[in-house]
Amino acid sequence: MLIARRGQNIMRERAVLQRILVTGGAGFLGSHLCEALLRSGHHVICLDDFSTGLRRNIEHLADTEHFSFIEHDIVTPIDFDVDQIFNLACPASPPHYQANPIHTTKTSVLGSLNLLELARRHNARILQASTSEVYGDPNVHPQVESYWGNVNPFGPRACYDEGKRCAETLFFDYHQSHGVAVKIARIFNTYGPRMRPDDGRVVSNFIVQALKGDDITIYGDGSQTRSFCFVDDLIDGFLCLMASPASFTGPVNLGNPCEFTIGELAEQVIELTGSTSRIVHRPLPIDDPRQRRPDISMAMRKLDWQPRVTLFEGLGKTIRHFDRLLADIDPILTEVA
């Protein structure tokens, strides 16, 4: 049963039909956001270049009233009438964004410029999906929005980290110089159905390995921490932020403040899957953060938002998704855009 969430209720209350662009709309987060916006009665324009998004994520929306799709890379400018923009277009997992680091940086920087120009021309409100990676390997814990971060500008994660930091700068410059209505969300680790099985992030890695009976690979000793937010909670945060007063731009942390070690996550996945997988350890990647947990005081105060789904509940839903998916894994991984 679907739970009525505050962000969706707000969007329904403001029932004027909006033309809303979701870039990266065929991806993990984007496809869930498209669904939520359609449920609120808006016209959704889903844009994706299928670099990491999948057609199957949006196939069920193809015949939905008020849904349209454009195949496009936001590195190239685009123009049409729009009231709101959610910019989710950027690979978010290390294997994907490191595969073509120059294009990853272009997506964050040139893509943001193009979308900000689109917002300026049409007086549209625009939300940037930024990331907790702007904090780097943090020296402040938990991370608050006023913290400037500890980022390596030359490391293997820099194309993503620094690209997102530069995008935030552009958003604030367009707000200050051109009066563009901007919103910036800093997303912490998010998981749930529609993650790719080859996503490369820890939740999907552990679940796929456990379901296949493979060794579960922990990089480092497993004492590093993360905070895991279920996708439904994050999407609700997006909607609350977009509907917030124009004077509130963010950045605002959106994530689950419950902190777990990577070792604890592995044990939960093994328990929930009933797997016989062994845990094995590999060297920690360069610049991998040792601690990651959001301070969500601002989101609670400004948006009246906080996560509802526990890790145990969210992992159960995600495991069921991957269990069904693995039977059809080859077509997913070889899907041709």
Cα–Cα nearest to 64, from 40, 89, 88, 83: 40
Across the chain, what does the average pLDDT equal? 93
Q: What percent of the chain has pLDDT over 70?
A: 93
State the helix-helix crossing angle for 311-325 and 262-273, rounded to 10 degrees. Answer: 60
Query: Which H helix or E strand runs over 213?
Result: none
303, pLDDT greater than 80: yes
pLDDT of residue 286: 84
Say if 317 falls within a structural domain: yes
Residue 13 lies in a domain: no
Per-residue confidence (pLDDT) for residue 329, from 0 to 100: 58
Count the Cβ atoms, other than its own, within 10 Å of residue 228: 26
Position 7 scores a pLDDT of: 66
Domain presence at residue 12: no
As annotated, the active-site residues are: 160
Total tally of structural domains belonging to the chain: 1
Residues 113, 328: Cα–Cα separation, whole Å: 38
**pLDDT for 252 beyond 80:** yes
Mean pLDDT calculated for residue range 247-262? 97
pLDDT single digits (tens) 124-171: 999 999 999 999 999 999 999 999 999 999 999 999 999 999 999 999
Give the DSSP per-residue string, 39-92: HTT-EEEEEE--SS--GGGTGGGTTSTTEEEEE--TTS------SEEEE--S--
We report the CATH number of the domain holding residue 68 as: 3.40.50.720
Residue 2 domain flag? no
- 125, part of any domain: yes
Q: Does residue 3 form part of some domain?
A: no
5 domain-assigned: no
Which tens digit of pLDDT belongs to each residue from 27-85? 999 999 999 999 999 999 999 999 999 999 999 999 999 999 999 999 999 999 999 99
pLDDT for res 332: 46
Residue 177 lies in a domain: yes
Residue 9 has what pLDDT?
A: 63
Residue 336 is predicted with a pLDDT of 38
User: Domain containing 199: what range?
Assistant: 19-333
